[in-house]
Amino acid sequence: MAGALPVLASLGVSTARALRRREGGVDIFSVLAIAFALLLGEWLTAAVIALMLASGRALEAYADNRVR
């Protein structure tokens, strides 16, 4: 749970901003998946989803920096 909450908070803010700009994406599903997993007490599931999302974002940032 400790790992999923910071990712959920960060992702929630960025997803809310994207929704205000009317830009949908996979992040919406990730927020919902983490939130529902936490609500259902599935801590490991929430942590795995958060880890997958965070590692994907890190790889994307790394690739962007390599291109520049």
Q: What is the DSSP letter of 68?
A: -
* pLDDT per position as a tens digit, 7-30: 777 777 878 888 888 877 787 888
Tokens matching residue 38: 């936490």
pTM of the model: 0.71
* pLDDT per position as a tens digit, 20-62: 888 777 878 888 898 899 999 999 998 899 888 888 888 989 9
For every residue of 3-43, DSSP letters joined together read THHHHHHHHHHHHHHHHHTT---HHHHHHHHHHHHHHTT-H
